[in-house]
């Protein structure tokens, strides 16, 4: 199986190298519509799809084969749902932001502004949690020994 994968990867690499040399120059205004560029994007999407499919497959296989991992995963998803709910509650659909965006020519709604605020709040909360856990484990290792 490993030999087949290596051979396939070598073939893809050789095709990509040939397409690299067949790419049009950067001065060409119609470069994005070239066949070499389109085929390189096709190879990229194919490799990305294979990587995602295998990642999901092996993650689910590990998740379902290890006892207790499904319970831990559900707790993590529940925690993430709580963080998202708290973030949505903390965000506001500020009408002034909607008006400012309308003046710039961007049509938006209060719901969109609230969702963007929620995403930022989720990022900040999860960053604080990650930094806190790193500090906690570092301090714990420092004082336990």
Chain position carrying tokens 């995602």: 52
38 and 7 part of one domain:
yes
Please, where are the H alpha helices in the chain?
2-22, 35-65, 69-90, 95-103, 110-144
Under DSSP, the state recorded for 37 is: H
* pLDDT of 65 above 90: no
46, 39 in Cβ contact below 8 A? no
* pLDDT of 145 above 80: no
91 and 119 part of one domain:
yes
Its domain, for residue 95, covers 69-144
Of the three residues 65, 82, 114, the one that is the final residue of a domain is 65
Tell me the whole-structure pTM to 2 decimals: 0.60
Model confidence pLDDT, tens digit, residues 89-115: 988 877 777 788 778 887 778 888 888
pLDDT of residue 55: 93
117 and 80 part of one domain:
yes
What are 99's two structure tokens? Answer: 């008006």
Of the three residues 10, 30, 65, the one that is the final residue of a domain is 65
pLDDT of residue 109: 81
CA-nearest of 120, 129, 132, 128 to 84 is 120
Domain tally for the chain? Answer: 2
Of the three residues 33, 49, 65, the one that is the final residue of a domain is 65
CA-nearest of 118, 134, 135 to 83 is 118
Model confidence pLDDT, tens digit, residues 22-42: 777 777 777 777 777 788 888
Burial of 113 (0-12, 13-18, 19+ CB in 10 A): buried
| Cα–Cα dist 24/129, whole Å | 47
């Amino acid at each position: 199986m490993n030999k087949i994968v290596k051979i396939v990867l070598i073939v893809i690499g050789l095709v990509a190298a040939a397409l690299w040399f067949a790419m049009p120059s950067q001065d060409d205004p119609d470069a994005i519509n070239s066949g070499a560029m389109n085929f390189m994007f096709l190879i990229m999407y194919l490799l990305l799809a294979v990587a995602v499919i295998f990642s999901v497959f092996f993650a689910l296989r590990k998740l379902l084969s290890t006892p207790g991992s499904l319970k831990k995963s559900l707790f993590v998803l529940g925690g993430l749902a709580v963080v998202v709910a708290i973030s949505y509650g903390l965000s506001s659909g500020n009408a002034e932001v909607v008006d400012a965006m309308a003046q710039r020519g961007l049509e938006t709604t209060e719901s969109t502004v609230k969702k963007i605020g929620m995403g930022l709040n989720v990022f900040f909360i999860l960053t604080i949690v990650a930094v806190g856990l790193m500090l906690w484990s570092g301090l714990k290792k420092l004082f336990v020994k």
